[in-house]
Chain A
Amino acid sequence: MHSIVSDDELLNLMRTGDESAFVALYRRKQSLIYRFALRMSGSESIAEDVTQEVFLHLMRGNDHFDATRGSFQSYLFGIARNQVLRRLERDRTFRMVSLDGNGKDHEDGTDAPLSETLTVAVDLLGDLTRRETIESVRQAVLALPAHYREVVVLCDLHEMSYQEAADVLGCALGTVRSRLHRARAMLVERLQTLKTAQSSPATSDTVQVLSESFI
């Protein structure tokens, strides 16, 4: 029966003590939250904790969901995002890698000039196996600074629209767009670096071209 009930209604039922509503809401949303936390942190343990914290937060009802400010799903992602960032800050498990060399964040939403190293004459991932490709991309995503990583996770991995991501992050749509643009450029650059590192010493024209582009 709960499958046709909206998220908002389930939330209200849950807050009146309806256990089946809570279970339905949890089962409907838990995988989204878990995957978001997993993709942001790369840690199953953190993803598990964050999922639990998000729903405990809902139970406590410390703050109230306001449907006029965005969807319930965005609200959940917002809680999850705060939890993930808190955990990452606390654990400091992941080293933030600055790909532009200066480590500056562009909070004003403007795009920094992209490195010319983006222009290479080869398909970066063409000769990697599928598994290597996925692992490389995963590592590259995890190496992004958090506020670039989260737009990639939301827009590219969760396939959210810019507006949905902006609702989750509480920022302007233009900021999401510019951060995503820069984050993708950083990912390409990172993958180039990984590709170069994995290649044997310059034995091919392709590697030679890559090497020259980084000098």
Chain B
Amino acid sequence: MNMNCQEFDQIFQEVARSHSMDTRQRELALAHSAVCQNCASRLANARSLAEGLAALAATTESQSAPLRVEETLLAAFRQRTATVAMPTTSNVVAFPIRRNRAQLWALAAAAVLIIAFGIIAVSQWKKTPANSPTRELATVSSPSTKTEIIQSVETRSESVVAAADQSRKPVTFRKTIKLAEESDDGFLVSSSLGDFTPLFDSPNAQQEIATDFLPLTYDDTDQAMESGQVIRVQIPRTALASFGLPIIPERANEKVKADLLLADDGSARAIRFIR
């Protein structure tokens, strides 16, 4: 029994790749290609393609993801594990998901800010323990409302202003927000990013112009926060560039005020700039 071109078409690619196939079928296909020039050419092309694909596969066979990917993932894994292990009322887990290089730079800038702030705050607190009013807000249990525990160490320094300012009079809460805390420094810490608003009754506060909060985490979804803290910091004006904001070259060496929004786990979630 001889094979025709249509039957040959069904199996010639397997024949070209020397796949394990029925010996009889293979012999029939080869016999057909010996007498049919068109099919012989197709078989030769298929063999060439198979060789080319095999060569391409071989050239990329040893390639693997760079080490930095493992490092990033490991950091994310540790962060997640630590967050899950901590007793918390929040289900929020922040992943440093890389979405593009601009955001990666923004994340790096935020990380530097957090570290710098931490170092300065700790050093200032150690230097002036007597002058640093330390306050701990107690947990308030209520059958109808839930209040977050917020421990805050208030510090004063030239570069960091997070302490209570007696000249600022806190004003009333806006609308009805659950899980909200008003700290002595006049910031309202509430349940969602958009509700973090400085509520000062002072002339200075009214003159301040702030940008919107710019997110510093890169998950696909907006993560609601049950509680957090807003701290006022001063950062180099050049940091504005990381967020796509313009910089006046003549003032590049100056510092700019910013409000940093911290989640319960200490990670920075958003930042806004103050003028």
- Report which A residues bind B (CB closer than 8 A): 17, 19, 22-23, 26-27, 30-31, 33-35, 38-39, 47-49, 51-53, 55-56, 59-60, 114, 118-126, 130, 133-134, 136-138, 141, 152, 156-159, 180-181, 184, 187-188, 191
Q: Are A59 and B76 in contact (CB under 8 A)?
A: yes
Contact A133–B55 (Cβ < 8 Å): yes
Dominant SS at the B interface?
Answer: helix
Give the contacting residue for B65; candidates A22, A47, A120, A137; CB below 8 A.
A47
Chain A residues in 8 Å Cβ range of B248:
none
Contacting residue for B60 out of A33, A35, A152, CB 8 A: A35
Name the residue on B nearest A135 (C-beta).
Answer: B56
Q: Closest B-chain residue to A51, C-beta based?
A: B65
**A52 close to B69 (CB less than 8 A):** yes
Known pairs A19-B78, A23-B74; A34 contacts B48 (CB<8 A)? no
**Which B residues are closer than 8 A to A by beta carbons?**
9, 13, 37-38, 41-42, 44-46, 48-53, 55-57, 59-61, 63-66, 69-70, 72-74, 76-78, 80-81, 84-85, 95, 97-98
Residues of A within 8 A of B60 (CB): 35, 38-39, 157
Nearest-CB residue, chain A, relative to B68:
A48
Determine which of B55, B73, B74, B85 lies in contact with A134 in the assembled complex, contact meaning CB atoms within 8 Å: B55
Specify which chain B residues have a CB less than 8 angstroms from the CB of A33 in the assembled complex: 65
Residues of A within 8 A of B61 (CB): 35
In contact, B65 and A31 (Cβ under 8 angstroms) = yes
A19 and B59 in contact, given A52-B98, A133-B52 (Cβ under 8 angstroms) = no
CA A123 – CA B50 in complex, angstroms?
12
Question: A137 → chain B, closest Cβ, in Å?
Answer: 4
**B41, B53, B84: residue with the most chain A Cβ atoms closer than 10 Å:** B53
How far does the alpha carbon of A30 sit from the alpha carbon of B56 in the complex, in Å?
19
How far is it, in angstroms, between the C-alpha of A38 and the C-alpha of B61 when the chains are bound? 11
A119 to B236, CA, bound (A): 68
Interchain Cβ contacts under 8 Å between A and B, 7 examples: A31-B63, A38-B60, A48-B65, A59-B77, A123-B48, A130-B55, A187-B53
* B41 cross-chain contacts in A, Cβ below 8 A: 118-122
Q: Is the Cβ of A134 less than 8 Å from the Cβ of B56? A: yes
Given that A119-B38, A121-B41, A123-B48 are contacting pairs, would A30 and B69 also be in contact in the complex, using a CB cutoff of 8 Å? yes
Whether B84 contacts A34 by the Cβ 8 Å rule is no
Distance (whole angstroms) from the CB of A85 to the closest CB of chain B: 16
User: Top 6 A-B pairs ranked by shortest CB distance?
Assistant: A31-B64, A137-B52, A34-B65, A119-B38, A125-B48, A157-B57
Assess whether A137 is in contact with B55, with CB atoms less than 8 Å apart: yes
- A6 to B65 CA separation, bound complex (whole angstroms): 22
List residues of chain A with CB within 8 A of the CB of B80: 59
Other than the known A35-B63, A137-B55, A188-B49, what 5 A-B pairs have Cβ atoms closer than 8 Å? A17-B85, A56-B97, A60-B95, A152-B53, A184-B13
Pairwise interchain contact B13-A157, C-beta atoms closer than 8 A:
no
Kindly state the separation between the CA atoms of A44 and B28 in the bound complex, as whole angstroms: 44
One of A30, A38, A136 near B52 (C-beta < 8 A): A136
Shortest CB-to-CB span from A201 to chain B, Å, is 23
Smallest CB gap from B72: residue in A: A52
> Which B residues lie within 8 Å of A119 (CB)?
38, 41-42
Cross-chain contact B65 with A30 (CB below 8 angstroms): yes
Bound state CA distance, A141 and B78, in angstroms?
39
B55 near A38: Cβ-Cβ < 8 Å: no
Asked if B59 and A134 make an inter-chain contact with CB atoms under 8 angstroms apart, the answer reads yes
Q: Of A23, A124, A180, which one neighbours B48 at CB under 8 angstroms?
A: A124
The reply to whether A184 and B46 form a contact with Cβ atoms under 8 Å apart is yes
* Smallest Cβ-Cβ distance to A137: which chain B residue: B52
